[in-house]
Amino acid sequence: MPIKILVVDDTILYRKVIGDILKSETDIEVVGTANNGKIAISRIVSLQPDLLTLDIEMPVCNGLEVLEYLRRNHPQISAIMLSSLTRKGGDMTMKALELGAFDFIPKPEGGSMAENQAFIKETLIPKVKAYARRHAIKRLLNKGGSQTAGHKVLSPPKTTATTPKTAPIKTTPTKRRNLTSTIIAIGISTGGPNALTRMLPMLTAPIGVPIVIVQHMPPMFTKSLADSLNNKCSLKVKEAEDGEVLKNDTVYIAPGGKQMKIVANLDDHGKVKVTDDAPENNCKPSADYLFRSVASLYKERVTGVIMTGMGNDGTKGLRLVKRHGSPIIAQDEESCVVYGMPKEAVKAGVVDISVPLDRIAAEIIKTVKKP
Topology given in CATH for the domain delimited by 170-368 = Rossmann fold (3.40.50)
The Cα 193–Cα 102 span in angstroms is 10
Contact 307, 318 (CB under 8 A): no
How much is the pTM?
Answer: 0.87
Look at residue 371 in the predicted model and tell me its pLDDT. 59
Amino acid at 170: K
List 9, 10, 288, 313, catalytic entry: 313
The Cα 128–Cα 145 span in angstroms is 23
Beta bridge partners of 306: 187, 330
Look at residue 167 in the predicted model and tell me its pLDDT. 52
* Domains 3-142 and 170-368 are alike in CATH topology: yes
Residue/partner pairs of 131-139 with CB below 8 Å, 24 or more apart: 131/3, 131/51, 131/78, 131/80, 131/102, 131/103, 132/3, 132/27, 132/28, 132/50, 132/51, 134/337, 134/338, 135/3, 135/50, 135/51, 136/1, 138/76
Look at residue 162 in the predicted model and tell me its pLDDT. 38
List 78, 181, 189, 228, catalytic entry: 189
pLDDT tens series, the chain, 371 aa: 899 999 999 999 999 999 999 999 999 999 999 999 999 999 999 999 999 999 999 989 999 999 999 999 999 999 999 998 888 889 999 999 999 999 999 988 777 889 999 999 999 999 999 999 888 877 776 666 444 333 333 233 333 333 344 455 555 544 456 789 999 999 999 999 999 999 999 999 999 999 999 999 998 899 999 999 999 999 999 999 999 999 999 999 999 999 999 999 877 679 999 999 999 999 999 999 999 999 999 999 999 999 999 999 999 999 999 999 999 999 999 999 999 999 999 999 999 999 999 999 999 999 998 65
Give CA torsion, residues 207, 212, 213, 214, to 10 deg.
-170
**CA 202 to chain CA centroid, nearest Å:** 18
Verify whether residue 189 is a known catalytic residue: yes
Look at residue 122 in the predicted model and tell me its pLDDT. 93
Question: Which sequence spans correspond to the domains of the chain?
Answer: 3-142, 170-368
Look at residue 139 in the predicted model and tell me its pLDDT. 73
Look at residue 146 in the predicted model and tell me its pLDDT. 40
Give CA torsion, residues 22, 287, 190, 330, to 10 deg.
140
Q: What is the 3-state secondary structure (H, E, C) of 127-139?
A: HHHHHHHHHHHHH
Q: Give the C-alpha distances (Å, rounded to integers) separating 100 from 44, 75, 157, 326, 359.
A: 17, 8, 29, 35, 22
Per CATH, the number for 3-142 is 3.40.50.2300
φ, ψ for residue 86 (rounded to 5)? -135, 165
List 9, 91, 216, 326, catalytic entry: 216
Nearest Cα to Cα of residue 87 among 115, 67, 57: 57
Look at residue 170 in the predicted model and tell me its pLDDT. 56
